């Protein structure tokens, strides 16, 4: 976590809550419950356990979309909606996260996209609110306990995060967010 060389850093955000609200508005334009409602219902198939429902939705997502990173211009931070992702047959981390958020909300499960900078390198600077320090999108499902899901990692079970995502500062893209939270 130590800075290895001199650097100058700056931010364009005034606060993490302002950044979270702005990114929340971007994500909400991509969330499309109707596009994935039937897929979500089929995946859940009468399951009542929240973790199992989320796992079933992740499995259904992986059956429909392959991972492909698209990070040029606005597509570096703006997720495409589920309809576009389904038509393409692929999506990057933020596209897949928006897809899963849409599926879970179709089932009445609150879920939000969250941004983080995976390790092992330097984490996001808490003193500099902005989007630029993040390089990865995951899903946060509030509850007791909260569930964190990295849709791009096929080997980590729902409720656990792959090692590069663990213990990192995350920005939950919600209008209610007031600051960064640390992933488990």
Kindly state the DSSP code that residue 5 receives in the 8-state scheme: S
The pTM assigned to this predicted structure is: 0.93
- Is pLDDT at 1 greater than 80 in this prediction? no
User: Per-residue pLDDT tens for 153-178?
Assistant: 999 999 899 999 999 999 999 999 99
Segment 37-46 shows an average pLDDT of 96
Share of the chain above pLDDT 70, in %: 96
Listed residue (38, 16, 4, 5) closest to 125, CA to CA: 16
pLDDT band at 10 (very low <50, low <70, confident <90, very high): confident
């Amino acid at each position: 976590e130590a800075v290895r060389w001199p650097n100058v850093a700056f931010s364009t955000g005034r606060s993490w809550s302002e950044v979270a609200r702005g990114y929340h508005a971007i994500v909400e334009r991509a969330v499309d419950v109707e596009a994935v409602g039937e897929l979500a219902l089929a995946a859940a198939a009468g399951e009542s356990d929240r973790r199992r429902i989320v796992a079933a939705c992740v499995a259904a997502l992986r059956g429909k979309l392959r991972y492909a990173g698209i990070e040029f211009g606005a597509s570096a931070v703006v997720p495409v909606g589920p309809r576009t992702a389904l038509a393409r047959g692929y999506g990057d981390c933020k596209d897949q996260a928006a897809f899963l958020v849409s599926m879970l909300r179709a089932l009445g499960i609150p879920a939000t996209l969250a941004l983080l900078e995976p390790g092992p390198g330097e984490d996001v600077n808490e003193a500099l609110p902005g989007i630029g320090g993040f390089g990865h999108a995951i899903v946060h499902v509030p509850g007791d306990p909260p569930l964190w899901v990295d849709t791009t990692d096929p080997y980590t079970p729902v409720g656990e995060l792959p090692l590069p995502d663990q213990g990192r500062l995350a920005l939950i893209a919600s209008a209610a967010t007031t600051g960064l939270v640390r992933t488990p």
